[in-house]
Amino acid sequence: MKIYPSVMAKNQQELNQLFKKLDGAAKELHFDVVDGKFLKTKSNWFKFRLSTKFKYNVHLMIKHPLLWIKKNGSKFETIIFHPEVTDDVEKVISAIKKLKKKVGLSLKPETPISSIEKYLQELDYVLILAVHPGRYGAKFMKNPLQKIKQIKKINHKVKIIVDGGINPDTIKLAKEADAVISGSFVSKSDNPQKALRELKKNCK
């Protein structure tokens, strides 16, 4: 199982501090972008500069993802967005593939698999949110994890990422996933390397 620390910042200074803190702990980071419209909070919603020390996947919790993808998509390995934000999911998938990037769709805890079922064969990833998104420290919910088996039945090749509330206890519940995102437990910890070691030990 891969473990990606998540990165949420209000400005470049905060972002730089996170990059410095996570340097040596991880090689790939999960970059959360929130526009204040899709959700009430904002994250990385400024003209950001990325550190060259990491690779990145990005989770877009924004309205109008196409505009953002055209501007910033080339900086990321994988681009994940929500089906609710566009009338034309195929168009966004196509735009990401034209950039030769991996593509994923994200499911909020209450969003059913049926909303993305017809796209599952085209996806590299499905991100399952085990929290209500948009901030560090939200409460972990076990029920969304039932979606892992259901999605794998439809497309066994698609990789599943579980995002939200991951700590040494909850990671055990997400063992069937291919990857997890950890925000509070890793990115907010005083010692990210130690926190990652603890997570890895508990997901075996």
Using the predicted structure, report yes or no on whether residue 204 has a pLDDT greater than 80. no
pLDDT one-digit tens code per residue, 117-169? 999 999 999 999 999 876 666 689 999 999 999 999 999 999 999 999 999 99
What's the domain count of the chain?
Answer: 1
Average pLDDT over residues 34-40: 91
Place of tokens 């998938």: 93
With bands split at pLDDT 50, 70 and 90, how would you rate the model's confidence at 203?
A: confident
Non-local (6+) Cβ contacts of 49 within 8 A are: 12, 15
Domain that includes residue 87, residue range: 2-202
Stronger pLDDT, 30 or 203, i.e. the higher one: 30
164: left (phi over 0), alpha (psi -120 to 50) or beta: left
- Coil/strand/helix, residue 30: strand
pLDDT one-digit tens code per residue, 100-111? 999 999 999 999
CATH number of the structural domain spanning residue 50: 3.20.20.70
The pTM of the full predicted model, rounded to 2 decimals, is: 0.95
On average, the pLDDT of the chain sits at 94
pLDDT of residue 39: 87
The tokens describing 182, both together, are: 């950890």
